[in-house]
A and B are shown apart, each in its own frame.
Chain A
Amino acid sequence: MKSVKNIQKITKAMKMVAASKLRAIQTRAENSRGLWQPFIALLGDTPSIDVKKNVIVTVSSDKGLCGGINSTSVRLSKGLLKLNSGPDKEPKYVVVGEKAKVQLIRDSRKHIHLTISELTKIPLNYTQVSVLADDIIKNVEFDALKIVFNKFHSVVSFIPTVSTVLSPEVVEREVESGSGKLGELDSYEIEGGSTRGETLQNLAEFQFSCVMFNAVLENACSEMGARMSAMDSSSRNAGEVLDRLTLTYNRTRQAAITTELTEIISGASALEG
Chain B
Amino acid sequence: MALSRALSFYRSFSTVPSQSLRVCIVGSGPAGFYTADKILKAHEGAEVDIVDRLPTPFGLVRSGVAPDHPETKVVTNQFSRVAQNGHCSFIGNVSLGSSISLAELRELYDAVVLSYGAESDQALGIPGEELAGIYAAREFVWWYNGHPDCRNLAPDLKSSDTAVIIGQGNVALDAARILLRPTTELATTDISCHALAALGESSIRKVYLVGRRGPAQAAFTAKELREVLRIKDLSIEIRQEDLSKTPADEEELKNNRIKRRIHELLSKAATPATSICSPGQKELHFVFFRKPDRFLESDCRNGYIAGLRMERTILKEDVESGKQIAVGTGLFAEMECGLVLKSVGYKSIPVDGLPFDHHKALIAVWSIIVAN
Real binding pair: no
> Could you list which residues of chain A lie within 8 angstroms of chain B, going by C-beta atoms?
none
